[in-house]
Structure 1
Amino acid sequence: MAEFLTDIETIRKRARQEIDKGPVTDAYGADRERVLKVLNEALATEIVCTLRYKRHYYTASGLYSEPLAAEFLEHAREEQEHADKLAERIVQLGGQPDFDPDTLTRRSHAEYDASTDLVEILKEDLVAERVAVASYTEIVQWLGNDDPTTRRVFEELLAQEEEHADDLRGLLERIPPRGKNV
């Protein structure tokens, strides 16, 4: 059996001395302030995407709108769950989740979209998902082993964002290219 790199008495002593740091110990290798900034940018991205999907759910109309609206609502719920996970991680790291509506779109990686044409909605939502996939992939690589817990959060989000992109691509392929509000 492998030995600890640090003896357990030293670990216990540090744990008591730095109790106010919560889960952040000397073993935490990342730049916590930078990680918190990145987490808050991702939080803004997820909130903006939640709002996009909610708007698309309520405004979708036309021949193919019913199944698309159901997909938009499901994606909105999942994006909100992503936002909640990110906010929880921010608090765990001793930060403050930034829900300021005045700066959400400036901090978000994705843009807000007010399209009404179903094909354009799908295209813009697919672009937003691709932006999230690219951003979260970079974040996962950047975190590496310095913050494995935050990396896992982003890996979970990344998997679902890839699924969203695949869903949207499939929906877009099923709609025949026609005029507005097909």
Structure 2
Amino acid sequence: MSEFILDIEQIRKSARSQMEKGAITQNYQADRHAILKILDTALATEWICVLRYTQHAKSAQGLHAEPIAKHFAEHAKQEEGHANQLADRIKQLGGKPDLDPASFGRRSHTHYVECESLVDMIKENLIAERIAVDAYSAAIRFIGTTDPTTRRILESILEVEEEHADELADLLAAFDPREPIN
């Protein structure tokens, strides 16, 4: 096994001479612009999910609406937490989080879809979660080991998106597709 060697004097010199770069040091191996683009798209996607889940939570009606609306509201809070994590990471990498709501739809992987029935709401949210799972998985594979911090953030978000997809699939399975639910 080789010995771990660290040129601490060079690290100290670099830290002093490049303070304005914040968290980005000479050892940062990722393509920062590519990572910022991934994070920006994920940020827009999370905000679209917040808005869609909130809309569905507020407009859910019918016999089964209350517990499902609570699921939607909880998911909206979690998606907002993801958006905040992504915005913080964008800032750490020297970018500026784009929170212009007018551009969310253009930049997001998912769509904002209003629905009339609980079943359609569950389906639209499940579709969005499945898209998010695939998009985060692809981003994590792209990043590999080049940016461990961003990778860990995306992995933690992916874990929650998979939980959401699983919960929504269970909710959908609970409804008899032959019986319309409003």
Where 1:85 maps in the other structure, the secondary structure is helix
1:145 counterpart letter in structure 2: T
2:86 counterpart letter in structure 1: L
What is the alpha-carbon distance in structure 1 between the residues aligned to residue 113 and residue 102 of structure 2?
Answer: 17
What is aligned with 2:13?
13
Q: Does 1:82 align with 2:92?
A: no
Where 1:77 maps in the other structure, the secondary structure is helix
The CA deviation at 1:180 is 4.8
Moved more, 30-39 or 70-79: 30-39
What is aligned with 1:153?
153
What is the alpha-carbon distance in structure 2 between the residues aligned to residue 86 and residue 147 of structure 1?
Answer: 14
What is aligned with 2:64?
64
What is aligned with 1:179?
180
What is the alpha-carbon distance in structure 1 between the residues aligned to residue 58 and residue 4 of structure 2?
Answer: 58
* Structure 1 runs of 4+ with >3 Å offset: none
What is aligned with 1:143?
143
Alignment of 1:31-50 (within 5 A): 31-50=31-50
The CA deviation at 1:93 is 0.5
Q: TM-score with structure 1 length normalisation?
A: 0.96
The CA deviation at 1:176 is 2.0
CA displacement, residues 119-142 of structure 1 (integer Å, 9 cap, x when unaligned)? 111111000000000000000000
What is the alpha-carbon distance in structure 2 between the residues aligned to residue 123 and residue 55 of structure 1?
Answer: 14
Q: TM-score with structure 2 length normalisation?
A: 0.96
Where 1:94 maps in the other structure, the secondary structure is coil
What is aligned with 1:166?
166
What is the alpha-carbon distance in structure 1 between the residues aligned to residue 19 and residue 3 of structure 2?
Answer: 27
Structure 1: gaps spanning 5 or more residues: none
CA displacement, residues 34-59 of structure 1 (integer Å, 9 cap, x when unaligned)? 11111010000000000000000000
What is aligned with 2:110?
110
Q: Please report the RMSD computed on the Cα atoms of aligned residues, expressed in angstroms.
A: 1.1
Count residues in correspondence: 180
CA displacement, residues 46-77 of structure 1 (integer Å, 9 cap, x when unaligned)? 00000000000000001110110000000000
Q: Does 1:98 align with 2:119?
A: no
What is the alpha-carbon distance in structure 2 between the residues aligned to residue 45 and residue 2 of structure 1?
Answer: 44
